[in-house]
Amino acid sequence: MTESIAISSGKGGVGKTTIAVNLALTIAKLGKKTLLLDADLGMANAHIILGLNAEKNLDDFVNGNTNINKIVVEVNSKLDFISGGSAIHNLLNLNETERYKIIKSFSSLKKNYDTMIIDVGAGADASSTGFMAASNKNIVIVVPEPTSFVDAYGLMKAANFDHKLQNFGIFVNNSNNEVHAKNYYDRFQVIFSKYLDINSNFIGCLKTSQNIKNSIMSRRPVVLDKTNQEEIYSFQAFSKNLEKIKTNDSKGIKFFED
């Protein structure tokens, strides 16, 4: 069975896409056949971080111009990629039927992959929470700022209210170190547990890094450079901690289900 993992955030600018891309590459390097789906619809930029120019994207599929298999791009022998397209009006205004069509289409790919990473659009709109609900596991990216955790709280509240999602992994980006990140998470976890019927786990962090900034500018993901040992280790630890996240058993259509 293919495990689908949604990477989301309460607001933009927290490094969600960078983390999704490097996590997918890390899982692939560990030997699992992996698919990265850029579901930040109409505002997609994972292809930029990957250094790719995908000729076709989800817009071509939604409009009936091609099938889902034809928009898959091979990154390497273990990682494939589907682009969401950039600034495409049709995808920015995706309706429920079109979203259902996208999710349902992945049943034809279920024998091809061990894992799929979904880079979900920032915020708590219907498309974002819908893709979260269609995934087995959910990860929310935050940075150690009060506004980031408030926005994350709003996202998890919406996902819980709309789709009964209860289990989330929290990953802290731009931290000083793991102790700093964990302390920040612990402070807000008290609020999560007090006001929301959810379970959350701290599943890792990434320190503020010039290597990350350089990798974005060079369009070469940070984990592909062997000299970036600290970042590579952080993503390897992150991938192992995915096991800590409980599966959400929400009702409705799921990726890779018939």
**Each residue of 120-147: pLDDT tens digit?**
999 999 999 999 999 999 999 999 998 9
Q: What is the CATH number of the domain that holds 193?
A: 3.40.50.300
**Each residue of 97-126: pLDDT tens digit?**
888 999 999 999 989 999 999 999 999 999
252 occurs within a structural domain: no
67 occurs within a structural domain: yes
Q: List phi, psi (to 5°) of 4.
A: -105, 130
Task: Read off the tokens for 152.
Answer: 């994350």
For position 86, what pLDDT does the model report?
66
Residues 124, 140: contact at Cβ < 8 Å? no
Task: Read off the tokens for 1.
Answer: 């069975």
pLDDT(236) > 80: yes
Task: Read off the tokens for 3.
Answer: 């495990």
The range of the structural domain enclosing residue 158 comes to 3-244
- Distances in whole angstroms, Cα of residue 232 to Cα of each of 48, 148, 149: 20, 25, 25
121 occurs within a structural domain: yes
256 occurs within a structural domain: no
Nearest by Cα to 130 from 153, 101, 162, 154? 162
**What count of other Cβ atoms lies within 10 Å of the Cβ of residue 147?**
11
Distance from the Cα of residue 84 to its chain's centroid: 13
Which position has the token pair 């061990």? 114
81's torsion region: left (phi>0), alpha (psi -120 to 50) or beta? beta
Query: Which run of H or E residues covers position 142?
Result: strand 137-142
HSE-up of residue 174 (Cα within 13 Å, Cβ side)? 12
Nearest by Cα to 245 from 142, 132, 136? 136
In DSSP terms, 4 is beta-bridged to: 116
Average pLDDT of span 40-62: 85
231 against 66, higher pLDDT? 231
Residue 11 to residue 195: CA distance in whole angstroms: 20
Query: How many domains, in total, are found in the chain?
Result: 1
254 occurs within a structural domain: no
251 occurs within a structural domain: no
13 occurs within a structural domain: yes
Query: Which run of H or E residues covers position 34?
Result: strand 34-39
140 against 1, higher pLDDT? 140
**Each residue of 142-198: pLDDT tens digit?**
999 989 989 999 999 999 999 999 999 999 999 999 999 999 999 888 888 888 889
pLDDT(92) > 90: no
65 occurs within a structural domain: yes
